[in-house]
């Protein structure tokens, strides 16, 4: 028997992109799956990636998907 990841038949997906170093976590609604679809940072430096990781990891979504953007 497989363990279900979600508790209901309805799954809420939140998808954003182009945050370019902004911590917009206060504007992101709750949901089951969070997708950041690219352009998280301006230059892709370690510090920018660390800042993005920090705010995304604090979100309550059970699943988080981050798609790298191009420089």
Of 68, 66, 61, 52, the C-alpha closest to 13 is 61
pLDDT of residue 71: 57
pLDDT of residue 3: 53
Helices (H), 7-68: 46-57
pTM value > 0.75: yes
pLDDT of residue 2: 46
Where are the chain's structural domains?
13-66
Q: Which residues contact 45 (CB under 8 A, 6 or more apart)?
A: none
Low-confidence ranges of the chain (pLDDT < 50): 1-2
């Amino acid at each position: 028997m497989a363990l279900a990841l979600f508790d209901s038949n309805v799954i809420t997906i939140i998808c954003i992109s182009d945050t370019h170093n902004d911590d917009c976590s206060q504007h992101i609604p709750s949901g089951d799956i969070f997708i950041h679809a690219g352009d998280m940072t301006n230059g892709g430096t370690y510090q920018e990636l660390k800042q993005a990781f920090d705010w995304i990891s604090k979100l309550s979504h059970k699943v988080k998907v981050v798609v790298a953007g191009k420089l």
